[in-house]
Amino acid sequence: MPQDYFGPIQEALKHLRPLLIYLPVSSTTPSDRVESLKEALSAVQTTVGAYGGRRKGKRGRGDGDAQKADWLDTEGVSIFNQARAASKRYEGNAEIKEDLDIAAQVRLTAYKMIEAASDSKPRPSQLQRDLYLLSRTAAAVMASNQKAKLEELLTHGAELEQDIRTVLSGKHSADTAEVLGSILDFYLVRIDFAFNEDNAQLASTIARKALGKTSDRTVDDSLPDLRRMGQLNITDVKRLAHHCWKISEELCFKGADQLYYLDDALAWTHICLEAANLLQQDFGEDARWFELEISVVHTMIKAYRLKGDPDSLERGYAAVQSLQEMIGEGDPRSIHALALYSLSLLKERGGTEDDFKKHFRLAVDTMIWSMENVHSLLFEISRFREDVDKHDWAMELFLNSSLRYEPAKAFTGTILLNVIYASRGRAVSDPERCIVFVGRLLDGMMNSGEMSDIERTACAHTLYGLADLLVEAEQKRYNQAAGLYTLAAHPVLAVDDSDKILRKAAMCHILAGDYDRAKAKIRDCPEEGAATYYLHFLIGLNMGQEEVAIEAIQKMASCEDLGANQLLNVASLSQRSEYDQVLIACIQLMLSMADQFSEELYLSKMELPKALIHLLYKGVEKEASGDEELFERIQGVVKNITQDCYSDPDFVQQHGSDVAWVAKTAYNMGIKSIATCSQSVVASIFDTAAQLMDMIPEGIDPRWSTYVAIAKYTCFCGNLFSFRSMEPGIEKKQLLEGLRNYLPVCRDAVTDALKNVQDKVSRLQLATIFGTLKIFEVELLAASGEWDAVARAVTMPTEGSKNTVEVMESVMDIINRNPDCPVEITGQVLGTLIQTFDKSKPEGIVGYSRWVRVAVDFVRLRNAEGDQTRVMEYVKKALEVIKTAPPTTYPQEEIEWLMTSAWNRRMRKYEAAKHWWELALQIGIHVSNREGRLQQMHDHYNRLLTKLEGVERL
């Protein structure tokens, strides 16, 4: 039974058709669908290949086979058309690209189906169609870089071309031109393939044979001249010419990096011109394609310019002139384009000024006014910007021409903006010429020209920016900047903030010291207004006219447009000035205006309070007002900022450095106030500073915690000193309670500072403050009559508050001044004091010896229960110190006193007397000049022993 080759094709197509809906395939197509599509295409190609091999040469031997072949052909054409339509969806889409391999496979599958269904003796129309489809398929395969399949298709295409030539046999019919068009499609693919293979000679040979312009038979004799077979239609000739021009453009682009491509580019421009001549030859003068000829000349000019040698530039210029003569005056558009080419070549090859002006006038006179043409001519002008005379002449002529023609007035703003933009470099290098040139152009536009709001704003902004460059340059050029600012405010530009710009021009004259020109410029500004008075203030201040400056400040106070920045500037300048009355006037202005600004503006900006603090501080230095009043003003500003910090947690984060500056200033202000202000004012200032400082993160300053501790300590001290001077009463009682509550806060601040500070000087300072707080704590407890608390504070110190000799001596001083202190509390404190001395150091031993005498006397006089034992312990411990201390360290007078005190104890019992005398004798060993006295003491001691023996015998 014969094998069925057709059934598998139908089955394969059954699987393929549903997958064609995913065309065109791109990166967004699901990968599983892509794989399925590839498998289906491969299956169709395999089954079609088997069928085609079986059917080759047997078409037409049966109606059944013919019907199957027709069906297969129809299916192939349908798939081909579907693929072509799908590809058009992504044409021009820069974001999504079609998968070129899949696109080529679909077309190749469709073509193989068509080829398998081909008749062994096809009609010319079928040959034409097959060759056309082959050409399109070959183009897709070439785009996917499948060289082997492409060569196979081109070989088959050559066979089809031969079949066409055989069928035609030199006899032309009505459809000959269409058949030749298909052959041309095939030739264009072959040209591209040869071009891609770097076979420029074969590519140009194919192109020339298509034109019938060569007798060269050395390369590929199989290629016939299409002209021998018939005449191409006008569309095909244009396609061939345009294709050749695209190749020349691509070669010219490559020639920018590799110059050897340029000769090939020029050769292809000549082929393109031959195709253009063929249009006139076959279809008459009306078929002339000027646009293409101009494009070709443009490519030719680019190639000549890239070559860059004088001969090439001359050839390019000659080509332009030749084409210009050929066109004549009948086509202004083409003449305009050629004039632009002439200007371009003049820049490269050089030329006279007359040549430049001639071609430029021609370009302007023949221009069809459109945005594209305006920009093209502006570009050519910009290439001559180094030749200032030519550039300015051309720009002025161009602008004036746009003013003369009604349709051109719409482009006046564009031209002027380009003039100003092109003047940027000169505005820095030669600003005077730039100002004169641009000013002349603006004056010429006073009564004509059209500009949009955007163009006016852009021109003004550019001039404004150029002026800023002169102001910000290392070599300041203020007067020239003022000229550019004045141009930015020109009436032609009619910007909304022209008054502001004019004031900036006046400011530049002031900075340049040209006060007469500044006054003249101010006269162009509105007479009233804070900004204008500010300029008068500057002139008065700089010219030493104190009255003028003060008058300007006073007038600013009544202006509704007075702003925070102006206040800041006036404050800053007044602070630095040498005129006291100006400073006083500024302080009055700041204080009067502060309430008029909203709290949000006043506080969130931070500049205003900082400026006010600066001024007030300066006032203190110059004694412009009472010190305490100024200090209280500053404190009020600081309190407002502190309150804002409490109410808005983000405030410190947003203005951290500024708030820190205010806090430090308040701290320094407190230090300064100590010399002139009352203790209560000093304490209040430091309290305000401390509250603000508590709000600021420590990272701002490594010593920040130290500043906070000192501020709180100073605040405490100020209030304590006030407390000491107050008369008894409710207020003093309330202050005492506040001090007791605030003292732990101070102690905590010092503790935190000690944790964060490492340098020895700061730590010593903080340790001293810590000890002083212990003394103050005892003083407050004593004032409250809480003596048990005094004992606890002294005998049980808190962590980090180790007692020192100085602290304990001060505490004893406080206790001694308070007659209400219980005796037992005094004794506890005294015992703690004695334990405080460092007995390993000479100074510690001396201090210890003095306070031991006090303790012994105190306990002996108190004569309470157990005091005799306590006295004995004091003396014994003192003896231990005497024994271990270096010689002469323990004061001799104190040793003698101890010895005498121990010897003179009057005891009722001999046994007790014996212990004291033995202790006195042990001490006496360490007394200098002791021989006689010590012997007497021994004699008495022996008699005492004798008495003790008698007592024992009894």
Radius of gyration for the chain, computed over Cα atoms and rounded to the nearest angstrom: 55
DSSP letter (8 states) at residue 407: G
- The pair of structure tokens assigned to 852 is 């031991």
Do 364 and 397 contact (CB within 8 A), yes or no? Answer: yes
Distance CA 461, CA 495 (A): 10
> No. of H helices and E strands in the chain?
45, 0
Residue 83: per-residue pLDDT: 86
Residues 937, 443: Cα–Cα separation, whole Å = 125
- Cβ atoms of 201 and 256 closer than 8 Å: no
User: Could you tell me if 178 and 245 are in contact, meaning their C-beta atoms sit under 8 angstroms apart?
Assistant: no
Q: What pLDDT sits at residue 217? A: 43
Provide the CA 667 distance to its chain's centre, in angstroms. 35
Instruction: Kindly list the domain boundaries of the chain, sorted by start residue.
Output: 604-758, 866-953
List C-alpha distances in Å: 67 to 122, 231, 644, 880. Answer: 16, 36, 94, 136
With H, G, I as helix, E, B as strand and everything else as coil, classify residue 26.
strand
C-alpha to C-alpha distance for 813 and 810, rounded to whole angstroms: 5
Kindly give, in sequence order, each residue whose CB lies less than 8 Å from that of residue 30, ignoring residues fewer than 6 positions away: none
Question: Beta strands of 668-789 (E only): which ranges?
Answer: none
What 3-state class would DSSP assign to 593? helix
Q: What is the pLDDT of residue 171?
A: 54
Give the span between the Cα atoms of 576 and 624, in whole angstroms. Answer: 15
State residue 954's pLDDT score: 27
Which residue stretches of the chain have pLDDT < 50? 1, 55-61, 172, 174, 215-221, 597-604, 624-626, 908, 951-954
User: Can you give the length of the chain in residues?
Assistant: 954
Contacts of 588 (CB under 8 A, 6+ apart): none
CB atoms within 10 A of CB 103: 22
Look at residue 645 and give its three-state secondary structure.
helix
| b/e burial code for range 646-671 (CB count within 10 A of at least 16 → b) | eeeeebbeebeebbbebbbbbbebbe
Share of the chain above pLDDT 90, in %: 0
The helix or strand, by DSSP H or E, that contains position 251, with its residue range, turns out to be helix 234-255
Q: Can you give the pLDDT at residue 215?
A: 45
Q: Name every residue whose Cβ is closer than 8 Å to that of residue 559 and which is 6 or more positions away in sequence.
A: 528, 529, 530, 533
pLDDT digits (tens, 9 = 90+) for 231-245: 678 888 888 888 888
Q: Are 232 and 177 in contact (CB under 8 A)?
A: yes
Nearest to 614 by CA among 658, 690, 563, 665: 665
Given its phi and psi angles, is residue 352 left (phi above 0), alpha (psi -120 to 50 degrees) or beta? Answer: beta
Mark out the alpha helices in 117-233 (DSSP H runs): 124-143, 147-168, 176-196, 200-211, 226-229
**Which residue matches tokens 């002008």?**
381
Return the pLDDT at 63: 55
For residue 247, what are its two tokens?
A: 């190749």
Q: How many other β-carbons are positioned within 10 Å of the β-carbon of residue 817?
A: 10
